[in-house]
Amino acid sequence: MIRFARRTLLSSAAAAFVLAASPAVMAETAAWPVQPITMMMTFNAGSGVDVVARLIQEPVSKILGQPIIIDYKPGAAGNIASEYVSRAKPDGYTFVFGTAATHGTNAALYAKLPFDVEADFTPVSPVVTVSNVLTINPEVIKVNNLKEFVAEIKAHPGKYNFASTGNGTGTHMAFAELNWRLGLDMVHVPYKGGPDAITGVLRGETCCIMNQVQTVLPHVKSGKLKMIAASTAERIKAVPDVQPVAESGLPGTKNFDSAIWFGIFAPKNTPAPIVAKFNAAVQQALQQPEIRERLESTGNSLRLESPEKFKQTVHDNRKSQAEIVKAANIVNQ
What is the DSSP code string of 6-45? HHHHHHHTTHHHHHHS-HHHHHHHHH--SS-EEEEESS-T
Q: Do 267 and 236 have their domain in common?
A: no
254 in a domain, yes or no? no
Q: For position 319, what pLDDT does the model report?
A: 92
Q: For position 26, what pLDDT does the model report?
A: 64
71 in a domain, yes or no? yes
Burial 276-298 (b: 16+ CB within 10 A, else e): bbbbbbbbbbbeeeebeebbeeb
Rg (CA), the chain: 20
Helix or strand or coil: residue 297?
Answer: coil
* Domain range enclosing 82: 2-130+260-327
Q: Do 120 and 146 have their domain in common?
A: no
CATH code of the domain in which 140 resides:
3.40.190.10
Q: What is the pLDDT along the chain (333 residues), one digit of tens a residue?
A: 333 344 344 444 444 444 455 565 566 678 999 999 999 999 989 888 999 999 999 999 999 999 999 999 998 889 999 999 999 999 999 999 999 999 999 999 888 899 999 999 999 999 999 889 999 999 999 999 999 999 999 999 999 999 998 888 888 989 998 999 999 999 999 998 888 999 999 999 999 999 989 899 999 999 999 999 999 888 998 999 999 999 999 998 988 988 889 999 999 999 999 999 999 999 999 999 999 999 998 889 999 999 999 999 999 999 988 988 888 888 775
298 in a domain, yes or no? yes
Show which of 247, 278, 305 is a domain's final residue. Answer: 247
Q: Do 150 and 160 have their domain in common?
A: yes
Strand ranges (E), the chain: 37-41, 68-72, 94-99, 121-130, 132-136, 161-164, 187-190, 208-212, 226-230, 260-267, 300-302
DSSP strand pairing (161-164 vs 208-212): parallel
Q: Do 214 and 71 have their domain in common?
A: no
Cis omega (within 30 of 0) for bond into 289: no
Q: For position 214, what pLDDT does the model report?
A: 86
Q: Do 143 and 107 have their domain in common?
A: no
DSSP strand pairing (187-190 vs 161-164): parallel
Count of domains for the chain: 2
Q: For position 8, what pLDDT does the model report?
A: 40
What are the angstrom distances between the C-alpha of 330 and each of 43, 164, 180?
21, 13, 10
- The rounded distance, in Å, linking the Cα atoms of 194 and 105 is 18
175 in a domain, yes or no? yes
Q: For position 330, what pLDDT does the model report?
A: 82
332 in a domain, yes or no? no
47 in a domain, yes or no? yes
255 in a domain, yes or no? no
Q: Is the distance from CB of 99 to CB of 168 less than 8 angstroms? A: no
Q: For position 307, what pLDDT does the model report?
A: 98
